[in-house]
Amino acid sequence: MDPPNVLLVILDSARARNCSLHGHDNETTPFLSEFADDAVTFEQARAPSVHSISSHASIFTGYHTEEHDVTEHKSFVRPETTVWHRIAAEHGYETGLFTPNVIVAQTSNLADVFDTCVGPKRAKFRLFDDALAPLDVQGRLSPKEYAREALGHDKPIRSLLNGVYKKLESRGGSHDPTSEGGDVYVDEFLSWVDERSGPWAACLNLMDSHTPFEPDPEYDNWSDDAAERARERVHDDEVPEPFTDAFWDHLAALEPLYDGTIRQADAAVERLVEAMDERGLLDETTVVVTSDHGEGFGERTELDTDVRLRHHSWGIDEVLTHVPLLVRSPGGDGGRTVEAPASLTRFPDVVDATIEGDDPADAFVPEGDVLSSTFRIKPPGNELSLPEPEREPYFGPWRAVYRETEDGVVKYARRGDDAIELGVPDAQRTVRRADSDGGVVAEAFDALEPQGVRLGSAAGRDVEDDVEDRLADLGYLR
């Protein structure tokens, strides 16, 4: 008899705070709430880092960020350190990755460890490779300013057409719901599953809830006038300059759209689970639904209130690390809630428990502390549009330790000389307990040692221009 299948569903950038499953006022996750009746729900799950490359590397290998050192978009990992490689080699699993995430599928080698990889499907960023395109020009130009630049290029007509193409494409091709929405990748995954005859393990990464926050109309349930104006500014390339008051107001106004994209991702998961059930696969599979990190909408950081969060570019705050996590074992679990801190670095142990016939959900809770960290931003911080003397407060490492106590879950966090102790009763609240971490963070992170996961140097790798453009258009710092 074959061992159970394994399906990891990552709702990219979906933070627990904006999931109705975890107490959010807007009903963003009605299906996940229903799914929880037959699964284990973790109220205190934490991502290992705050951006895709590090979190995915931790989930795939089981190591903390400062053990694997995979922190740059172009990083390579040793394939044999991943759970996907191991279960294929040792247990005969066929493996598949289905994702529009450029970092996972193209700039790193994380996709190479899978037998099958589908995605990204994004359109190109330019019609003509030998001409100027808007993303080739530094700064934000008005259409007239870009036209002047294009007419000065040695391919003026093609350059103008590249500009028109950029405006007509949805965010220049970086997020086109027709080709990149969750349903597209659900269909790809189901087609792949239908062709498998033995045990399989797959990762389905959906980016509906990632920037630029463009929910389909049927899920755009909470937009207000401010959100509509923010959407128009994004479409017109008129977003205010970063770090200005106008920019933070703009970022905050996007949150209702973000809620709509989480609702859209929830609907994609519903369709996925129903299709698996119809095929008789649901009761033969361990299904894990989670997120690789959360999202910041200008909230002031817990460690330094002068620093505000921009998407998931820096910080170690709860909006970035506190993520949804549900686990349905083969046959279902009858509904259970776990309040202890859980770490996504435990995913390989969850897979092992599945193969051994043990309860996979229990493996997500470590015996000791849960750790999250990020080194973003690194000095000299040239990617920040700030004068050099103002950049230091954004530099990593940002570190957090989560511990279960008799008072509930307590978080200890540190960046530089700033440290705090917080009580975290749930995804919606934090309670400041002390302006010190009591040395907990240093003790926990000093115990970590390199595990030989990273392969080679990221700096020596070339990435195609259109991939770099996609990253920039999705809001990633370059």
pLDDT digits (tens, 9 = 90+) for 181-196: 999 999 999 999 999 9
The pLDDT of residue 406: 95
Interacting residues of 410 by C-beta distance below 8 A, sequence separation 6+: 402, 403, 404, 421, 422, 423, 424, 433
The pLDDT of residue 171: 43
Question: Taking 50 as the threshold, does the pLDDT of residue 82 lie above it?
Answer: yes
In this prediction, residue 218 has a pLDDT band, given cuts at 50, 70 and 90, of: very high
The pLDDT of residue 235: 86
CA atoms 305, 316, 323, 205: torsion sign: positive
Question: Taking 70 as the threshold, does the pLDDT of residue 34 lie above it?
Answer: yes
Taking a C-beta distance cutoff of 8 angstroms, is the pair 306, 470 a contact? Answer: no
Spatial CA neighbour of 17 closest among 309, 395, 218, 364: 309
Question: Taking 60 as the threshold, does the pLDDT of residue 477 lie above it?
Answer: no
For 344-349, what is the mean pLDDT?
A: 98
This model's pTM is above 0.85: yes
Q: For the chain, what is the mean pLDDT?
A: 91
Question: Taking 50 as the threshold, does the pLDDT of residue 170 lie above it?
Answer: no
CA atoms 278, 279, 285, 288: torsion sign: negative
d(CA 139, CA 352) in angstroms, rounded, equals 49
Judged by average pLDDT, the poorest of 96-100, 160-164, 260-264 is: 160-164
In this prediction, residue 320 has a pLDDT band, given cuts at 50, 70 and 90, of: very high
Backbone angles phi, psi at 324, to 5 degrees: -70, 150
d(CA 203, CA 214) in angstroms, rounded, equals 23
pLDDT in tens, 102-120: 899 888 999 999 999 999 8
